Chains A and B, each alone.
Chain A
């Protein structure tokens, strides 16, 4: 199990989460295209697949196989532990 902090430590993985917020159920192909077109990031397909694996292990991405195809959907639930651990608070002057 990868902790969410390690999963979030990588810029490409953060961008993948950004793109996954756009729409549920995206294929690896769609995500690779969006990294290239929208962010000028061109890691190999295998590297993107590995990044998605790390995000999935941290519970931030869910993968569903439907028919012949594999789709990826973001799950932001684990991120709530960050604000629960460090809730924002007013700094008193």
Chain B
């Protein structure tokens, strides 16, 4: 068994796919119209068999209060591993993206917290051992 797909709830699928591809470097694996929304997944192009992210619309009424409460307290929804968190921080800030937490050493990792522009925070983590 492997973790095939996780869902990240997003405000807007158009903005989400733009952010996750052009800013974070994921590539689209599925984009299937489903009525008002799309079944929209992305994956790390260097690991096409890796876990996909479904950019899921916030259809269910419980989702918005949940994501808003996490965001208000600065809690990232998931962790993305990076080789050099300082480089990623500088690159994304230069592109106008927002971090709620700059790279911060936390024991075996250096972490930063990034706004995904569609309602979530993502933790970028660099393992330093």
Interface residues of A, Cβ cutoff 8 Å to B: 23, 26-30, 33-34, 37, 45, 49, 65, 67-71
Contacts and interface: CB of A to CB of B under 8 A. Distances in A.
- Enumerate the 10 nearest inter-chain pairs by beta-carbon distance, A residue then B residue, closest first: A27-B74, A29-B74, A28-B73, A68-B71, A29-B75, A30-B101, A37-B106, A70-B72, A27-B100, A69-B100
Given A29-B73, A68-B119, 7 more contacts: A29-B74, A29-B75, A29-B101, A29-B113, A30-B101, A49-B73, A70-B72
A76 B39 CA distance: 51
B84 interface: no
A69 B72 contact: yes
Most B-side CB within 10 Å, residue of A33, A49, A65: A33
A37 B106 CA distance: 6
Contacts of A26: 74, 101
Contacts of A68: 68, 71-72, 115, 119
A46 B61 CA distance: 24
Interface string B61-105: 000000010011111100000000000000000000000111010
